[in-house]
Chain A
Amino acid sequence: MGTVLQDIVERKHYSFIDGEGVTWQEAVRLSALPLVADGTVDEDYYKQIVACIEKYGPYVVFEHNIAMPHTQENAEGAHRTGIGFMVSKKLIDFGEDEDGEKKEANVFFTLSAVNPEEHLANIAQLTEIFMNDDLIDALAAAETPEDILKAERDFPCEE
């Protein structure tokens, strides 16, 4: 099995958008579309993620404008474990967090979790990716699947 980024490219679970005037709800939907395309999740799966963010706030937006929209394991409409990767040229506005700090994202990793082992491995790798600033910068500038793979080659994670 390859890395999560190789897996994203192999399974065509990526998208690149301009993001101008796109709401965060729409961005979450768009980021899940490649997962819908091959039946990893149902078309309405994203609505559960949106409901969760509406309820708890934009806690899925981390430092460096990374968003990891997700819902619980084995959610309705999730059929396989996967990651919908999306880059938006413009920052997507997620509103403010509990401290009134503005939350914005341009790199999305939208999760579907069905197989606990695969999901655990994905989360462990994503954590390394999210803490690798150079890699995140390179991914945020990616415009093609080749760019994703090149970013990983140029800035590999330690583990």
Chain B
Amino acid sequence: MAKLDGKKLLACCANGAGSSLMMENAIKKVMKRNGITPAELRHCPVSEGKTAARNYDVVFCARTFVKTFEGIEKNGTVLIPLKNVMSDKEIEAALKEAGLLD
């Protein structure tokens, strides 16, 4: 079973309307390509994501928001900061590096 199967994933950006949606689409592509079925995949603004993060296994955000999520690893949440939010290739590589994808 793939490591991300049944996991809860969250994509965050400033407004929860633009880049987080692009991230969600790109994450979907990666999940599909690798035959992974996450329990949940959604997007939201960082203001909401900050408190919601602890309920998720993996949080994706643009690199500019890394500071917002400082300390979330204490709850066992993995933060994946991205340079290009619409790049499924970058997401795939980052997940591999984090040991979440084979």
Contacts and interface: CB of A to CB of B under 8 A. Distances in A.
Interface in B56-102: 62-66, 84-87
A95 to B, nearest CB: 12
A71 B18 CA distance: 8
The size class of the interface chain B forms with chain A is 20 to 34
A120 B25 CA distance: 10
Main secondary structure, interface of B, reads mixed
A56 B25 contact: no
A59 B64 contact: yes
Query: Nearest 10 pairs between A and B by C-beta?
Result: A72-B15, A70-B18, A123-B21, A59-B64, A56-B14, A73-B17, A127-B86, A59-B62, A98-B64, A57-B64
18 contacts: A52-B15, A56-B14, A57-B64, A59-B13, A60-B18, A62-B85, A72-B15, A72-B16, A72-B45, A73-B17, A97-B63, A98-B66, A123-B25, A124-B25, A127-B25, A127-B26, A127-B86, A131-B87
